[in-house]
Amino acid sequence: MACAAEGKGVDRDSALAWIEAQLERQADGAGLSLAIADASSGEALGCISLNARARPGVAPIGGPPDGRLAFEVQAGTAGVGYWVLARARRRGLATAAVRMLTRWAMADAGLRRIEALVEPGNRASLRVLERSSFRREGLLRDHLDVGDGGRRADAYIYSLIPGDPPEGV
């Protein structure tokens, strides 16, 4: 819980609500969120998630009573997202987590494509993806809703598919 509070810049109650939301996402089939932990101490230092992607070209299929839309999930495709506490960065934790989760997702969970969206100025995250064999496919202009008072941002889209060269090649 302390990691969520520190990483999200929120109080204890908000951190617990964020953790609960991650558990609900898994129960709803919308994603899988895992802690990034220090190998020796077990201390949570970040989070990594696989997130369901909407099937392109298919209209919403309704939704829950709260008015949100529900979309058909693109089978075999997921997005990956991650963050690491500022005090734990530059130790290779995000790269190790991305490599481990994406290997599992393709080998055991049957995914055929994993995508990542990254703001062009986030050099550390770009390096994580490139070190994990992701390939940059293009720039999505004004794509991300960053949440800072309606601010939007461009995003590079990266992907990993079976047959991409292994890490370090």
At 146, which CATH number? 3.40.630.30
Give residue-wise pLDDT tens across range 4-63. Answer: 555 556 677 777 787 787 777 777 777 888 889 888 898 888 889 998 876 666 665 666
Q: How confident is the model at residue 113 (pLDDT cuts 50, 70, 90)?
A: very high
Q: Do the domain assignments include residue 64?
A: no
Average pLDDT, the chain: 83
Q: Positive or negative CA dihedral for 14, 16, 21, 22?
A: positive
- What's the CA gap between 117 and 130, in Å, rounded? 13
Q: Do the domain assignments include residue 79?
A: yes
Q: Do the domain assignments include residue 168?
A: no
Q: Which domain, by its residues, includes 37?
A: 2-58+70-160
How many domains is the chain built from?
1
Q: In this structure, what token pair is assigned to residue 63? A: 């939704």
| Chain-centre distance for alpha carbon 80 | 3
Residues 6+ apart with CB under 8 A from 44: 2, 3, 4, 35, 36, 37
Q: Do the domain assignments include residue 24?
A: yes
